[in-house]
Amino acid sequence: MASGIGGGRCLLRAPNLLTGHTLARQLGIDSAWGIPTGLQALGYASDTVMPTGVITAPGGRILWADETDNYRVRPEPGTYLEVLRREGLVAA
């Protein structure tokens, strides 16, 4: 579930959010019927999750979170780097 990146830090991914939605429901980021109608014929489920970014400190404290209200809009990479630099997790 986790893949290593520089300095021993980990980037966590949750690939099972698209199959069970248990975690997505607990976090409140599930989107019932979020997949456009018609894509089910191609094998896609009807439900999905809203894109959500979370940066945590060692030990699990949440430093920053962003949940989009539009699935096409994501934070710029610089936004993530700003938080990581502010928290001393990457070099300034």
Three-class secondary structure of residue 49 per DSSP? strand
Buried-exposed string 29-41: b where 16+ CB fall within 10 A, e elsewhere: bbeeeebeeeeee
What's this model's pTM, rounded to 2 decimal places? 0.59
The residue extents of the domains of the chain are 1-50, 51-92
Q: pLDDT of 32-87, one tens digit each?
A: 888 888 988 998 888 888 888 889 888 888 899 998 887 788 888 999 999 999 99
Three-class secondary structure of residue 48 per DSSP? strand
Alpha helix (H) residue ranges in the chain: 22-27, 77-86
- Give the HSE-up count for residue 13: Cα atoms under 13 Å, Cβ half-sphere: 7
The greatest distance separating any two alpha carbons of the chain, rounded to the nearest whole angstrom, comes to 48
Q: pLDDT of 5-29, one tens digit each?
A: 334 444 444 444 445 667 778 878 8
